[in-house]
Structure 1
Amino acid sequence: MSSEDDEAEGGSGVPEQLALIRETVRRADVPRAKPRTWRGAALAKELPVARVLVDKGVLHLDRYFDYAVPEEMDADAQPGVRVRVRFGAGKHHVRGGRREGGGLIGGFIVERLAESDYSGPLAALAQVVSPEPVLGPELLSLSRAVADRYAGSLADVIQLAVPPRNAKAEAKPSPEPSPPPPPPEPGTWTRYPRGPGFLAALAAGESPRAVWNALPGPYWADELARAVAATLASDRGALVVVPDGRTAARVDAALTERLGAGRHALLTAEAGPQKRYRQWLAVRRGAVRAVVGTRAAMFAPVRQLGLVVIWDDGDGSHSEQQAPQPHARDVTLLRAAREHCAFLLGAHSCTVEAAQLVESGWALSIAADRDTVRTAAPLVRTVGDGDLARDEAARAARLPSLAWQAVREGLRSGPVLVQVPRRGYAPRLACERCREPARCRHCSGPLEAPDARQLHCGWCGRGEHAWHCPACGGFRLRAQIVGARRTAEELGRAFPAVAVRTSGREQVLDTVPGSPALVVSTPGAEPVAEGGYAAALLLDGWAMLGRADLRSGEEALRRWIGAAALVRDQAAGGTVVIVAEPTLRPVQALVRWDPAGHAVRELAERAELGFPPVSRMAAVTATPGALAEFLAAAELPSDAQILGPVPLPPTEPGRPRRPGGPPPGENWERALVRVPPGSGSALAAALKTAQATRMARGGGAEPVRIRVDPPDIG
């Protein structure tokens, strides 16, 4: 059809469409010109386009936007700096931002270009917030990898990786870099057959990878400091990530003693925003090459990173609660692989993920021999149901005679630690006869009976009408929770002349004196005693083992070993009494002090049942309608298996919402999506694409929450 014919049929609408097509083709054929001016203002002569990561953490906008660089901003608008740009929705929204209008929003320049791949006019940068380049290419690449792994947006990860700006801290110059220290002596690393060799490899500039089962006692912090010093001796940097501020303070003190003041940075929330940002800048500028910090320090921009360490990776504090909720262990593993540096995962206990690293051959095991373990560990004694049944006093006070004796003997020479489960531990059902956890016959998830109703699976939602124990044939179930406050009151009345200190949610103690006292603590809040505790009581073991979670046994053992590691060794009279069924696997692992063996057996069971970390899993939560719509639209991998959905317990009004749980007054459901090894990246990509498509189409009225590799799938 000719152009005359087009004009003759102007009322049909077809000519306008053809004209738009021709105009599009014509523009595509025209070479793209470099922007020269913006509203009469001259632009940068060299590389006049800035590619900007806009601080807008929504998935359908998870890309870069091009902006013109005004000439007066040319010198400061360098890759990595913070800027402000005009950005907003509307008909003028284009590949390069907005032609006009739109609100100001923060962002980072990721690169400067000679031209944009958008042929229209570009909006200009509104402001260079600071000429300090805070987002380097290594940190940007790591953040992109984390966002892809967890089906999140790059902007959300950058918010976790780069701390907020503090102008006063930025204006203060960083100190000059210190020369490398000499290689340290092995010290107490000689207690481990592979310990001295690991330090020697670090000092030689090599990159060994190890999972370290630390012995009980106070030496682990100094051993970490020696590993950092060995890495610095090779003229490389080191990063240590710990779960909380108390642990960071211990490693900080050990590093100060080993390296001297000013040779490392401490990155914790307790430092305050100005000091923390000043320390972070010193690391980014290369003035400090060693870092110890809590979860957010996993992104610390250490120059020439030679060693990354994560301590106690099973602690829940390592799991970020802000989107996309990465875990510090996975981020440090990514850094070790991407930056080809050494890796050390250390803890008194051992997670299944740590066992998998050793079983796969990716990392070597650093552990002491059995004779050394027996020498360093306290004596562990058990009190089971049979002992409680024969002990009249124990039935009345819920404390067996053996526990009373241990307390009385321990108070003669020092403080005694009493670990009691905190409130809120939900029970997991188990066989009354043999204590085998009750699991679903279809997906092996935990069986539940809320409000005394019929049994159903907490994962796939199927009902169970005729459960029987596959181990012993029993058909009766048991759940038990015992209050912690009453236990503390009983101990206080039994020993009225002894000081009683508590450490828990209201007040967490860092240390206690070495004088006789009762220290009642919830798991994870145990203070360090000067000279070690004379004894420890681990009470109400069923309340910890009875949690309806895949990790209940692993977590209980980790908590027990964490408390027992604070007790003096057996030669000094250190004794630990645990009130739990002696035949249970976690209890036996504590008695033998064999957390690695327990983790290996757990890993074998999970491999057989297809549980993480052998498989990859994602949790998707939403209202029933939104969840069904999302799962139907998502193009999941062909080998994906959907478990559920199952209803989530509602959040009571006035109470804090659980991470990923429904808002108060709303009924939500959760589905688990499981894929075999090798399909984890495809699963994350499919979920991210489905979520981005849904949000781009305006489907955000009913939110859908996605969490890849959830730490709690009970």
Structure 2
Amino acid sequence: MRTVSGAEAAGVALPVARVAVDVPLPHLDRPFDYRVPPELDDAAQPGTRVSVRFAGKERSGFVLERVATTDHHGALVPIRRVVSNLPVLTPEIAALCRAVADRYAGTLMDVVRLAVPPRHATTEKAVLEAAAPDRTGMTAAHIPGTAWDDYVGGPAYVRRLAAGESPRAVWSPLPRHEADAPDRLAAIAEAAAATLTSGRGVLVVAPAARDVEELTEALKAALPGEPVVALQADHGPSRRYRAFLQVLTGRARVVVGTRAAAFAPVRRLGLIVCWDDGDDVLAEPRSPYPHAREVLTLRAAQEQAGVLLASWARSVESALLVASGWAHSVAASRATVRERAPRVEAPGDVDLAREGPAAGARIPRPAWELVRKALEHGPVLVQVPRAGYLPVVACQRCREPARCRECHGPLQLAGRGGVPTCRWCGRPDRTWACPTCRGTELRARRVGSARTAEELGRAFPKVPVVLSGARADHGVVREVDDRPRVVVATPGAEPVARGGYQGALLLDAAAVSGRQELDAEPEALRRWMAAAALVRPASAGGRVMLLGDPAPVPAQALVRWDPAGFAERELAQRQELRLPPASRMAAVRGTSRAVAGLLRHLELPDGGEVLGPVPWSQDEVQALVRSDLAQGARLTRALAVAAAVRSAHKEPDPVRIQVDPPEL
């Protein structure tokens, strides 16, 4: 370590800038020292974007800190230019990015790219030149403490936020559909107002754009005069960067956004809210694949902020936080649950036996009766797991799944009398013939939302049928009125009914709960409860029927409306089997030579083990690396070191490392 002085320092007090250079190689995941020229002394501050010379090329980077010493023995290369003198990477977010990179065995710059949106020069100039709003005397609106009264520990949680404390809660809200009654949006707004009263900021993260819009509207209505910023990647470069700058400069203390908003630079962060934390949309599909819930919990510990993880169905990861004592459960009493939840039925084979041969129908007679009676009083929701008409078809004669002759993808029918079309490559096959028995007729293996809507329209010809889904002709419908109608929707696209639905059918339950995936049952319960929460309470005649041979454990959890109990049972099973989140696990995927090379460099922590490799695809294999939670940080560090060694040795073929893989 030497002190930079004399001609090299050129009168600059802190002449060394430690820069995170944007290079993709894991073995270069560290700051590099550069000399700060006198003309850039004022501009090259920590957090600013700079351009530097690295390995003979000009690359972008961020100044992490300014110091007087360096461990580089030669002359330091100077910073070429400062792209913008606005510090966009705050010290808190830089530390968070480092923690997330370490948690997921990634590199710092991979995470920084997720945290800091690309610069939009025109927008930056306009925002900085605009006068900042006068916040003198601005206080949060007072919201009466009613929304949390039905939950044990709820009022105390809000009081602690208002007092400047940082409580952590996992909350199981209940549906409420009466006019002007408090609901989950009012409860979140009340917690936000309490936090603002203590002089701190609020960050709310939700999985989908419609959730962000709903939460933003509720917070704006509940917090008049308080700027509420929506931060979403699909808003476009200019709008997204403008929202980011409003938060960065302190012009907005309340932020609502999708997963990338977990890194929003909220000043004096006091409350972090994550809605529906079990939704896999919150998992980033780009390296190092962090989940927003984990980012937010890391951030809460780092910045000493309060936490509210809320969802209709409790995730197993949230149950672990409660079991470990990191967070406390906030839920209603059983009496309140019975009062607020709809009546849920999951008829089994014994219940349907009296129907005779019709018991095996996709929609049996009791379900038709439920729809008919419910339509006398209001709308009915029908949830279908798959979009389309007949998304999966098979040979009528031998039941062999129908596949494309070009790419071997599954065939589907887009409508009555339609031509079989590949779901992967889109090629039509007008002369399809089964390669096994040479049959030419097709049968449905899965029925989609469009076909279901067609069947219901024929059964109730005088009732309007609404189709909602990302692939439907009219897209996602946000809201319907309280008049009788049938709404057919895919999971996540269910419209809100004014006053709540009178009834609901949850079809093809085995298509979700019977999948060969670790999270199949928790995901099934999450989807079912999200739909059932839109139905009126049992006291108002609200009924839900779960059909299609559901897995018994999540089905009973839905009938009892007991998401916490289900999550605790699931967690106990995973602890016994050493499965995530009760253990730390990573998937290593690539060619057999590349995976073998990384495992050769991997130094496992005590108790760590390697499962596999096993074939994953035509050209790839996958190995699972596992350790106890106590050794989780050492495992991810070992994976990062192994990746860095491969990178330094320039070993061929890439390897994908994914901690907490969604598929096992």
Q: Tell me the TM-score range normalised by the shorter chain.
A: 0.7 to 0.9
Residue 672 of structure 1 corresponds to 624
In structure 2, the partner of 1:335 is 299
Residues 520 and 77 of structure 1: CA distance in aligned 2, closer, same or farther (over 3 Å): same
> What is the DSSP-based 3-state SS (H/G/I as helix, E as strand, rest coil) of the residue aligned with 1:188?
coil
Deviation (angstroms), 1:519: 1.3
Cross-structure match for 2:591: 623
Deviation at 1:692, TM superposition (A): 0.7
Relative distance call for 1:36 and 1:392 in structure 2 (3 A) is farther
Q: Which residue does the alignment assign to 1:663?
A: none
| Post-superposition offset of 1:532 | 1.3
1:245 to 209, 212, 228: 209
Corresponding residue to 1:150 among 104, 109, 116: 104
Deviation of residue 80 (structure 1)? 0.8
| SS at structure 2 position matched to 1:374 | helix
| Cα offset, 1:586, TM superposition | 0.6
Contact 1:83/1:109 (<8 A) preserved: yes
Task: Quote the residue 1:703 is aligned against.
Answer: 654
- Once residues 49 and 413 of structure 1 are traced to their aligned partners in structure 2, the CA distance between those partners, rounded to angstroms, is 73
Aligned-pair Cα RMSD in Å: 2.3
Q: Deviations over 1:7-55 (max 9, x none)?
A: xxxxxxxxxxxxxxxxxxxxx9xx6653736xxxx95532222211112
Number of the residue aligned with 1:547: 515
For 2:90 and 2:600, the matched residues in 1 are separated by 39
Distance 1:34 1:390 in 2: 92
| 1:278-335, Cα deviation, whole Å (9 max, x unpaired) | 2211211222211111101111111111111111110011111111111111111111
Corresponding residue number in structure 2 for 1:165? 119
Q: Does structure 1 residue 608 correspond to structure 2 residue 576? A: yes
Indicate the residue corresponding to 1:9 in structure 2. none
Partners of 2:273 and 2:135 in 1: CA distance: 22
Amino acid at match of 1:153: T
Query: 1:209 is matched with which residue?
Result: 168
Q: Give the 3-state SS of the residue equivalent to 2:329 in structure 1.
A: strand
Q: 1:199 aligns with which of 144, 149, 158?
A: 158
* 1:471 match: none
Structure 1 pair 481–610 and aligned structure 2 pair: CA distance change class (3 A): farther
2:146 to 181, 187, 193: 187
| Structure 2 residue identity aligned to 1:497 | K
Residue of structure 1 in register with 2:639 after alignment: 687
Could you tell me which residue of structure 2 aligns to residue 313 of structure 1? Answer: 277
Gaps of 5+ in 2: 178-182, 393-409, 411-443
Asked whether the equivalents of residues 231 and 257 of structure 2 are also in contact (C-alpha less than 8 Å), the reply is: yes
Q: 2:29 aligns with which of 62, 70, 80?
A: 62
CA distance, structure 2, for counterparts of residue 52 and residue 413 of structure 1: 65
| Pick aligned residue for 2:452 from 476, 479, 487 | 487
Structure 1 residues 583 and 612, CA, compared in 2 at 3 Å: closer, same or farther?
Answer: closer
Amino acid at match of 1:689: V
Superposed displacement of residue 65, structure 1: 1.3
**Could you tell me how far 1:369 is from its partner in structure 2?**
0.6
Matching residue of 1:501: 466
Q: Secondary structure at the match of 2:148?
A: helix
Partner of 1:444: none
Aligned partner (choices 110, 117, 130) of residue 64 of structure 2: 110
Equivalent-residue separation in structure 2 for 1:176 and 1:85 (angstroms): 38
Tell me how many residue pairs correspond in the alignment: 599
| SS of the residue 1:680 aligns to | helix
Secondary structure at the residue paired with 2:630?
coil
Shift of 1:177: 3.5
Counterpart of 1:660 in structure 2 is none
Separation in 2 of the partners of 1:33 and 1:363?
Answer: 47
Alpha-carbon separation, structure 2, partners of 1:358 and 1:33: 50
Take 2:640 and 2:385, find their aligned partners in 1: how far apart are those partners? 38
Distance 1:189 1:162 in 2: 35
Contact 1:237–1:290 (CA under 8 A) maintained in structure 2: yes
The within-5 A match list for 1:309-458 is 309-388=273-352, 390-391=354-355, 394=358, 397-422=361-386
Among 548, 565, 583, the residue aligned to 1:597: 565
Quote the Cα distance in structure 2 between the aligned partners of 1:318 and 1:35. 51
Determine the structure 1 residue equivalent to 2:258.
294
In structure 2, give the amino acid aligned to 1:622: G
Quick one: distance in 2 between partners of 1:481 and 1:199?
Answer: 50
List per-residue Cα deviations over 1:224-256 (Å, max 9, x = no partner): 011010000011111111111101111111111
Q: Do 2:509 and 2:550's aligned partners in 1 also have CA atoms closer than 8 Å?
A: no
User: Does the aligned pair in 1 maintain the 2:170–2:322 contact within 8 Å?
Assistant: yes
> SS state of the match for residue 671, structure 1?
strand
Per mean C-alpha deviation after superposition, the further-off stretch among 631-640 and 578-587 is 578-587
> What does residue 534 of structure 2 align with?
566
2:93 matched residue in structure 1: 139
Distance 1:57 1:187, change over 3 A: farther
The letter of the residue matching 1:117 is D
User: What letter corresponds to residue 702 of structure 1 in structure 2?
Assistant: D
Name the aligned partner's letter for residue 89 of structure 2.
L
Q: Name 1:53's counterpart in structure 2.
A: 20
Measure how far apart 1:546 and its partner are: 1.1
Q: What is the distance in 2 between the residues matched to 1:33 and 1:164?
A: 33
Contact 2:4 2:15 in 1 (8 A): no
Instruction: Tell me which structure has the larger Cα radius of gyration.
Output: 1
Question: How far has the Cα of 1:182 moved from its partner?
Answer: 4.9
- From 78, 81, 86, the counterpart of 1:124: 78
- Residue identity in the other structure for 1:255: L
Kept after mapping to 1: 8 A contact 2:378/2:482: yes
Shift of 1:531: 1.7
Partners of 2:523 and 2:254 in 1: how far apart?
A: 30
Matched AA of 1:503: S
Do the aligned partners of 1:156 and 1:324 also contact (CA within 8 Å) in 2? yes
Q: 1:516 aligns with which of 484, 487, 493?
A: 484
Name the structure 2 match of 1:265. Answer: 229
Q: Contact 2:507/2:547 (CA < 8 Å) preserved in 1?
A: yes
Q: Provide the C-alpha distance between the structure 2 equivalents of 1:126 and 1:327, rounded to a whole number of angstroms.
A: 36
- Aligned 8 A contact 1:355 1:599 in 2: yes
Inter-CA distance 592–501: structure 2 relative to 1 (3 Å threshold): same
User: Partners in 2 of 1:515 and 1:346 — Cα distance?
Assistant: 30
Mapped contact 1:35–1:115 kept (Cα < 8 A):
no
Against the structure 1 CA distance between its residues 120 and 35, is the aligned structure 2 distance closer, same or farther, given a 3 Å change threshold?
A: farther
Deviations 1:129-165 (A, max 9, x none): 1111111111111111110010000001111111111
TM-score by length of 2: 0.86
- Whether the 8 Å CA contact 1:81–1:130 is kept in 2: the answer is yes
**Helix, strand or coil at the partner of 1:287:** coil
Structure 2 Cα separation of the partners of residues 609 and 627 of structure 1: 25
Q: Deviations over 1:479-507 (max 9, x none)?
A: x9632244333222212222222222322
For 1:35 and 1:622, locate their aligned partners in 2 and report how far apart those are by CA, in whole Å.
51
Q: Residue type matched to 1:546 in 2?
A: G
Gaps of 5+ in 1: 1-27, 89-101, 428-450, 452-479, 651-665
Task: Look up the SS of the partner of 2:521 in the other structure.
Answer: helix
CA distance in 1, matches of 2:152, 2:4: 66
Q: Which whole-Å CA distance do the structure 1 matches of 2:607 and 2:360 have between them?
A: 54
Shift of 1:271: 3.1
